Amino acid sequence: MGHNAITVSIERTVDPARLDEATVWIQAGINLANKYPGFLGSGWVRSGEDATRWHMLYRFSDATTLDAWENSPERRWWLGTGSEFAHEDRTERRTGIEGWFDTPISVAAEDTIATVIVPPRWKQAVSIWVGFFPLNLAFTLLAVWLIPGWEDWGTAPRVLASTLVLTPIMAYWGLPTVTRILRPWLQRPPRQPRK
């Protein structure tokens, strides 16, 4: 996945009398998108066999390839063929750090229903802190020990040096490790309020 990858999340309401037709329609859209450069995958999920609210996701490597797909005549044709039974309710684009918290996408099969849970922002913030604090602490202790005169550097040069070193480590090692370890907690569905 490129560092500029974009995930698009779409909620659609589907006519309950035409669920079979909608299933074929969704798969046709995935097959069309799959032929476009930059396509990184897609999926769709629903909460049950008869659910009328469907959640769909697709990912492209960058904004240019995503725009090529979204403005293509094939996509316009495909959307037109489903306009009588599938209505778009909400669309959201996610880039950057949020991508680490996306649940792996599974394409729904005949007897498989997956669940997509993107954790709330506070859980994302806790996960980032859990990864960044020990990394920052270790770097600071090592810098004091290994770099002569580290304490004499000004605040801005020390922060610049630490962020230049720690940002790639956090992006490529720290955050993926933390999210893998915390995934059960991150993906736990929110508690339902007591009645």
- pLDDT in tens for each of the 195 residues of the chain? 445 678 888 889 999 888 888 888 888 888 889 889 998 888 787 767 777 888 888 888 888 999 999 999 999 999 999 889 888 888 887 765 555 555 443 334 333 334 445 677 788 888 888 988 999 999 999 999 998 998 899 989 888 888 888 888 887 778 778 887 887 887 776 666 665
What pTM, to 2 d.p., does this model score? 0.51
Residues of the domain holding 81: 6-101
**Per residue, what are the HEC states of the chain?**
CCCCCEEEEEEEEECHHHHHHHHHHHHHHHHHHCCCCCEEEEEEEECCCCCCEEEEEEEECCHHHHHHHHCCHHHHHHHHHCCCCEEEEEEEEECHHHHHHCCCCCECECCECCCCCCCCHHHHHHHHHHHHHHHHHHHHHHHHHHCCCHHHCCHHHHHHHHHHHHHHHHHHHHHHHHHHHHHHHHCCCCCCCCC
Q: Are residues 75 and 21 in the same domain?
A: yes
The count of structural domains within the chain is 2
Residue ending a domain, choose from 70, 101, 132: 101
Task: Judge whether 58 lies within some domain.
Answer: yes
